[in-house]
């Protein structure tokens, strides 16, 4: 007998007391969760009598739990960031739209970016959604030199973005592109594709007889931004929509500016464990569904991220 049934049928004071304890215990359990620094948020619907279009295609695990657990690194406005203790942005809003198609909630928890895929493959999260560039390296679980690090992941591609260079407002060093960083200090977050872009550019510098880029890699992007703002680094490198949002909002638009055009544009993907193909495939259907019904465009327009729109989802479309 459930706690609620016991409450409805209790006739004696002793049973009523048991009811109160049971209900209190239930409330306590439902109030607990992963309190990772950076906040968490949920998006989606209710599984009771579920009539969501794609609910029946979900693996039974998620039909029963009503939740898909999402790992993220909430430091990438407008894609995902923390405001008033809640994770907000393009990815949480897209997840809410996906949840309406699937009939489940997407529960976001923030952690370090370079630990997202490991956390996914060890079962802490069901998916990772955090401006993650889909590429062969991540699909196959390789480091930048092709060495096997661990198990790779599959991606459901849902957005397109390239790498951008940003500087302190006023661009005191006159940086015009990533090629101008030879022999200079550049700040970046560790474990990102734009860290790899800096390494690639540094090699090009030395191959051309110039000095290497002095790359300073930080645990989180906020530290990299602070380094640029203080003048300790002449530039930072980030995803294009993130850099544009940073230049528009940080310090009321007075802290940074984006220089040059975005380069090496590639897809962002929802990362899924390679063994979880059923979830991967229904997520692809859900992305296509929100593109078709217009909710996808609505979310991107809300956050000023329309330049990253795609026409159709893909699985492992990155190179």
* pLDDT at site 251: 95
The tens digit of pLDDT for each residue in 48-68 reads 578 999 999 999 999 999 999
More confident: 206 or 143: 206
Name the residue range of residue 189's domain.
162-265
- 145 with 289, same domain? yes
10 is written with which tokens?
A: 């209790």
Buried b (16+ CB within 10 A) or exposed e, 10-32: eeeeeeeeebeebeeeeeeeeee
131 in the same domain as 153: yes
Q: Are residues 45 and 136 in the same domain?
A: yes
50 and 72 within one domain: yes
Q: Answer whether residue 20 is part of any domain.
A: no
Answer yes or no: is 5 within a domain.
Answer: no
- In this prediction, residue 20 carries a pLDDT of 39
What integer pLDDT is reported at residue 263 of this predicted model?
Answer: 86
24 within domain boundaries: no
Are residues 154 and 273 located together in one domain of the fold?
yes
Structurally, the chain folds into a number of domains equal to: 2
> 6-43: per-residue pLDDT in tens?
344 444 343 344 333 333 343 333 333 333 445 667 67
pTM here is 0.78
Residue 30 lies in a domain: no
Pair of tokens at residue 262: 């975005």
Q: Is residue 198 part of a domain?
A: yes
Q: Do 39 and 104 reside in the same domain of the chain? A: yes
Distances (CA, A) of 168 to 233, 251, 275: 9, 11, 44
| Residue of 270, 223, 238 whose CA lies nearest to 117 | 270
Residues 41 and 104 in one domain: yes
- Do 138 and 58 share a structural domain? yes
26, part of any domain: no
Q: Are residues 96 and 46 in the same domain?
A: yes
Q: Of 318, 247, 310, 315, which is closest to residue 90 (Cα–Cα)? A: 310
Alpha-carbon gap, residue 12 to 44, rounded angstroms: 40
Last residue of a domain, one of 223, 240, 265: 265
Which residues face 42 on adjacent strands? 107
Please check whether residue 183 lies inside any domain of the structure.
yes
- Residue 190: give its domain's CATH number: 3.40.190.10
pLDDT in tens, 250-264: 999 999 999 998 888
Q: Is 170 a domain residue?
A: yes
Residues 143 and 292 both lie in one domain: yes
Q: Based on the domain organization, do 125 and 54 belong to the same domain?
A: yes
Same domain, 154 and 238: no
């Amino acid at each position: 007998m459930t706690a609620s049934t016991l409450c409805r049928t209790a006739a004696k004071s002793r049973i009523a007391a048991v009811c109160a304890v049971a209900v209190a215990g239930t409330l306590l359990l439902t109030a607990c969760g992963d309190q990772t620094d950076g906040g968490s948020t949920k998006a989606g619907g209710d599984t009771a009598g579920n009539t969501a279009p794609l609910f029946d295609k979900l693996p039974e695990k998620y039909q029963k739990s009503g939740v898909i657990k999402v790992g993220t690194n909430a430091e990438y406005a407008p894609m995902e960031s923390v405001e008033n203790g809640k994770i907000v942005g393009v990815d949480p809003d897209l997840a809410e739209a996906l949840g309406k198609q699937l009939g489940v909630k997407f529960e976001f928890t923030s952690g370090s970016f370079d630990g997202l895929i490991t956390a996914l493959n060890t079962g802490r999260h069901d998916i990772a959604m955090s401006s993650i560039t889909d590429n062969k390296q991540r699909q196959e679980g390789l480091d930048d030199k092709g060495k096997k690090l661990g198990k790779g992941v599959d991606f459901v591609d849902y957005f397109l973005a390239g790498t951008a260079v940003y500087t302190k407002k006023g661009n005191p060093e006159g940086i015009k592109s990533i090629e101008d960083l030879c022999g200079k200090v550049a700040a970046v977050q560790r474990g990102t594709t734009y860290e790899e872009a800096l390494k690639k550019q540094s090699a090009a510098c030395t191959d051309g007889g110039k000095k290497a880029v002095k790359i300073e890699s930080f645990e989180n992007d906020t530290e990299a931004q602070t380094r640029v703002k203080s003048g300790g680094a002449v530039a930072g490198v980030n995803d294009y929509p993130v850099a544009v949002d940073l230049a528009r909002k940080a310090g009321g638009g007075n802290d940074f500016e984006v220089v040059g055009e975005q380069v090496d544009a590639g897809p962002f993907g929802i990362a899924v464990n390679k063994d979880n193909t059923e979830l991967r495939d229904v997520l692809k259907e859900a992305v296509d569904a929100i593109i078709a019904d217009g909710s996808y465009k609505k979310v991107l327009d809300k956050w000023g991220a329309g330049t990253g729109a795609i026409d159709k989802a893909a699985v492992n479309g990155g190179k």
